[in-house]
Amino acid sequence: MALVNPNFAAELEAFGVDTALECFNCGTCAAICPLLYEHFPRKLIRYVQVGAEKKIMENAQDLWRCLHCGLCTRTCPRQANPGELILGLRRYVVARWRRP
Amino acid sequence: MAKKKKKTEPAPEAKVGVYVCHCGGNISDAVEVDQVCQHARRVPGVVVARDNMFLCSDPCQEMIIEDLKSGLVDRVVVASCSPSLHEATFRRALARAGANPYVYEHANLREQVSWVHHGAAATEKASRLVAAAAAKARLLRPLESIRVEVQRQAVVIGGGVAGLKAALELGERGLAVVLVEKSPFLGGQVAQLQRLAPFGETAAEVISELTGAVLKHPAITVHTCAEVEDFAGYIGNFKIKVVRQSPAGAVYADRLARLSRSGRGLGEYVPFVGVMPAAIPEGREEFDLEAGAIVLATGFRPYQPRAGEYGYRDFPEVVTLPELIRQLAAAEGAGDTLVLNGRLIRQAALIHCVGSRQIPGVHAENEGGYLNEYCSRTCCSATLYAANQIREQYPKTRIFDFYRDIRTYGRGQEELYTEAARNGTLFFRFEAGEEPQVSRNPHRTSNPLLVKVRDVLTFGEELEVPVDLVVLAVGQEPNDIAHLVENLKIPVGADRFLQEVHPKLRPVEVSVAGILLAGTCQAPFDVGETCAAAGAAAVKAAAILTRGYVELDPFVAEVDLSRCVGTGACVEACLAEGALALVNLEVEGQMVRRAQVNPALCLGCGACVAVCPENAINVQGWTLKQYEAMVDMIVSDEYLEERAEG
């Protein structure tokens, strides 16, 4: 159970992530991703949309699996820039790491 | 060859052509069509039996016409789909060939055979039906259709967009129109809206334009507060009894109060009221209308959620979309956050498919014990339109959109979805049976309500959304017109909307000739679709009125004066008042009482045939002799080469 926090997307802007709400959950990024890992990277983008901070922290290690191939960003039909979103989320996670 | 029967005397020239249709596999997948043709060739009187993939196609109709013109056949049996679909098609083909359209018989090999039977039994039943039809065809006589004068006036029932548009189109063709509206207002459900999705025209301009033109049109008479009480007659000559009186109860109290608050007068448009063209009558007034055609425009009503459905009535913060539209129009303040009834709306949830697409076994039945299994079609766009309106005007009000599916199906509608996605509307998707739960918010946020959903877009995880407002996108339900349906004897579909003859080929006609459908009495439509349907209904009605006469099928009772002795049994049994009477006639120099038929009123039911002790009355085209010939063929095995195995 997660409480939706619509302000979270705005909080992330400080970390260079401002395109999450462009995503309309088509899943093209997850389909094209060479990692073929669950719903990566869409899953993390959706967590940003609904503001599920805890979920992002729980799944943080996934962010470091990314190979930076750029396929998701190239194929995204909404210019939501999934690749850049992953990088931004890393900065967010690093900043939050072990902070009470 | 089977030996010729002696007891019936078919016209010596009777040459029956049998045409068996595959219906593109619909029939031929279950029925051995060539075998049916072989069997048919052995039926007395049959001179040719052919089969084809689609008999209703132009080339096949031409083939039948050729056979008639060349003199090869003079009776036609088509064995295909239901006669309700294509009997008229083939009768017209006979007429085009210069033949009498009533020397035609139809055998239903689709609904009555291939869709319900399989294997050898299917083919055998098909052969028996075809043989029976051929035996009947052999005894058919040419008949003349009955001509009836037409009353050059149309009656339109319902004064919403559909009724107004239909009345106007008829009036513009120079035809007299009477519009009958139950409420004191014109404008119907559209007058309960503000801006219309997807393009944003105002309801005010749409209704004002229509009512303005209708009310000043010399050919159109409008009666508000008027209801159809009784109905009689047939195409060309309908008689409608109308009662005009002050509406009972306080159904319209809210709208009347709005009207008096607005300070506007008769004939003027008032938002969320419509146009009141005339004062409410004080007494009760009854009058009869005559009509050559009737347009039904009885419209829809928005689905009313049950108490407790998504928290409706339990929480004042849960409203339907029409209620939201009314509140939005009165929203105070020009800040960047929406304020409704003095409450700040920071977060609002919109829930789709309320009262639509209900599934048996999954969703609870509505009050009347029914489910609305259909998609109401207009709510997705209307909901997204409202979402965009709020996001644009009040950017600090966040919108959460909970959908099962988004069906923005028409021109300019998908753009509403794209726009909503762009303006930050956050979407959640739920599965049927896992509708969002609305409850009081137990968390410490200041929002009064909490919407809980298992969100498909978040991989089936449970999400909770605190909100200040829940909007239910309610669907369309047909208005309660049971009295009218009963009176007019028109068919109603499983969805309780009025049912057309054919959804594609005859979309605005019902099975009662001369009655036409306009708008949402037929199915959920938006305003554009409603106007298209109303225009079509008006043109169909105009075609009936301007022709001046109608031709009715001659399948009516006929008295055989050589047998009638005037027992009067038929008159007693007759179900249609005025269709049968005993009259004084001179027969062989003597005045006698004999039965006489009024063909325009006869229903062709055959009740008289059953009771006549002298066998002196028959329904043309369905005589007892023809029935006997059919039964003989159904029980005969002579034409079946060998009993089908299995």
For chain A, say whether B422 makes contact (Cβ under 8 Å).
yes
Residue B131 DSSP SS3: helix
Query: What structural domains and CATH numbers belong to chain B?
Result: 1-144 (3.40.50), 153-299+479-550 (3.50.50.60), 309-466 (no CATH)
Residue A61 lies in a domain: yes
CA distance A25 to A38: 14
**pTM recorded for the entire structure:** 0.80
What are A51's two structure tokens?
């503001």
Residue A2 lies in a domain: no
Contact B464 A39 (CB under 8 A): no
CA distance A42 to B530: 41
Q: One-letter amino acid identity for B80?
A: S
Give the ranges where B102-160 is alpha helix by DSSP (H).
119-138
The three-state (H, E, C) secondary structure of B63-107, written as one string? HHHHHHHCCCCCEEEEEECCHHHHHHHHHHHHHHCCCCCCCEEEE
Residue A9 lies in a domain: no
What is the per-residue pLDDT across A76-89, written as a single tens digit (0 to 9) for each? 999 999 999 999 99
Q: Looking at chain B, which residue has its C-alpha nearest residue A80?
A: B422
Q: CA B132, B136, B141: angle at the middle one, nearest 5?
A: 170
Structural domain of residue A51, as residue ranges?
Answer: 19-96
Residue B419 DSSP SS3: helix
- Which pLDDT score, from 0 to 100, does residue B7 have? 47
Residue A73 lies in a domain: yes
Q: Taking chain B, what is the end-to-end CA distance rounded to the nearest angstrom? A: 25
ipTM: 0.94
CA distance B337 to B346: 6
Residue A52 lies in a domain: yes
Between residues A31 and B646, the one the model is more confident about: A31
Q: B344 Cβ partners below 8 Å, 6+ apart?
A: B337, B338, B468
- Are B29 and B89 in contact by the 8 Å Cβ rule? The answer is no
For chain A, say whether B461 makes contact (Cβ under 8 Å).
yes
Nearest chain A Cα distance for residue B323, angstroms: 26
Residue A48 lies in a domain: yes
Mean pLDDT by 10 residues, chain B (646 residues): 46 87 95 96 95 95 96 96 93 96 96 94 96 96 92 98 98 97 97 96 98 98 96 91 93 94 95 97 96 98 95 97 96 86 95 97 90 96 97 96 96 95 94 97 90 96 96 96 93 96 94 95 97 98 95 92 94 90 88 92 92 95 96 94 50
Structural domain tally of chain A?
Answer: 1
Residue A44 lies in a domain: yes
For chain A, say whether B455 makes contact (Cβ under 8 Å).
yes
Closest CB to B457: pick one of A21, A25, A78.
A25
Q: Which chain B residues are Cβ-neighbours of A24 within 8 angstroms? A: 421, 427
Q: B191 Cβ partners below 8 Å, 6+ apart?
A: B160, B185, B203, B207, B269, B271, B272, B273, B274, B275
Residue A6 lies in a domain: no
What are B471's two structure tokens?
């909007």
